[in-house]
Amino acid sequence: MIAHSSKYQCAECEKCFRSNPELQAHERIHSGQKPFQCAVCSKQFSTSGHLVCHSRIHSGEKPYKCYICDKAFSQYAHLSRHVRVHSEDKPYKCCMCDQAFSVSGSLNRHMRMHTGDKPYKCSLCDRSFSQSGHLQTHELHVHSSGRTHHCPYCGKLFKTNAYLKLHVRGHIDAKPYSCRHCSERFTRLDYLKIHLLKSHNEGTWLTCHICEKKFSDSGSLDIHVRRHEGVKPYACSECPKCFCTSTELKLHQPVHLDYKQC
């Protein structure tokens, strides 16, 4: 540790900090030390702040609420990223084409389409991938039995945790979104919003300015308008194809992997 011009300087990388605690937290990046341990799952963290954010996974606490819609988040950074959905702010711009993105990670993935960089390497074969998700899918379907996610109720196996979660809802009949006016409950927030509009005249229908079709939420309207205008902001990093939604992009991505879907 070096005191430098009333600042605290890291001896490894010479980065300066305003206080000794900030410097100590930074130095753990170099040492790999993780002294803060979760009491529930024993996962370890380099800072107490990271542990606090992680603890909300177990408690379900979501203190950061969007002032435009009903969504809440466990971390402020997640809220900030979500708000851009409403504002359509896309501050991360590609320097090689006219594409822009709301989060830096999307820009980084997009840039690999231009550079051809494939930093994610399979440890079991020679294949490399531009996205970590592609590598995970490759390892799951090529180097494993493919179904590793186990249902605790019936024992059925699934290829991904997302498929397992959808399946488990059928066992527990999970409907977390309840109507404040009647006894109806729903599995998804958008289903609740449609119910409130149709049954209780609560809320405001959003109308497409091109064909006057009505929607219950701005996200669905935005996607609908993109289809009218031919806007396709989700670019595949492996080929020139672009898509209107992230879901369409995810459905396309297995084309570039080593397996065939049934």
pLDDT in tens, 75-98: 888 888 788 777 778 888 888 887
pLDDT of residue 55 exceeding 50: yes
DSSP state of 151: P
**For the chain, what is the mean pLDDT?**
79
> Which residue, among 252, 234, 251, has the nearest Cα to 243 in the 3D structure?
234
**DSSP code at position 108:** H
Q: Report the alpha-carbon distance of residue 50 to residue 52 in Å, rounded.
A: 5
What local confidence, expressed as pLDDT, does residue 114 receive? 82
Domain boundaries, the chain: 2-61
pLDDT top residue among 261 and 221: 221
Average pLDDT over residues 200-216: 86
Instruction: Express each pLDDT in 120-175 by its tens digit.
Output: 888 777 778 777 777 776 766 666 655 667 777 777 777 677 778 777 777 766 67
Judge whether 137 and 254 are in contact, CB under 8 Å.
Answer: yes
Instruction: Kindly report the pTM of this predicted structure.
Output: 0.39
Higher-pLDDT residue of 173 and 113 is: 113
Residue 140: predicted pLDDT? 65
* pLDDT score for 143: 63
- State residue 4's pLDDT score: 46
Amino acid 214: pLDDT = 86
Q: What is the rounded CA–CA span in Å between residue 96 and residue 201?
A: 48
Q: Which two tokens stand for residue 175?
A: 């409907």
If one counts every other C-beta atom within 10 angstroms of the C-beta of residue 110, the result is 22
- The residue with tokens 């309207």 is 221
Cα angle: 209, vertex 212, 215; to 5 degrees:
95
The pLDDT, as a whole number, for residue 3 is 46
Q: What is the pLDDT of residue 145?
A: 57
Q: Note the pLDDT of residue 144.
A: 60
Across 52-56, 65-69, 89-93, 130-134, least confident range: 130-134
pLDDT of 259 over the 50 cut: no
Share of the chain above pLDDT 90, in %: 0
Q: Tokens in use for 105?
A: 């990670």
Average pLDDT over every residue of 196-204: 87
Kindly report the length of the chain.
Answer: 262
Closest CA to 63 of 48, 53, 73, 77: 73
Architecture of domain 2-61: 2-Layer Sandwich (3.30)
Q: What is the per-residue pLDDT for 261?
A: 41
pLDDT at site 147: 65
Q: CB–CB of 13/6 below 8 Å?
A: no
Percent of the chain scoring above 70 in pLDDT: 89
Tell me what pLDDT residue 148 has: 67
Q: For residue 33, give both structure tokens.
A: 């030390």
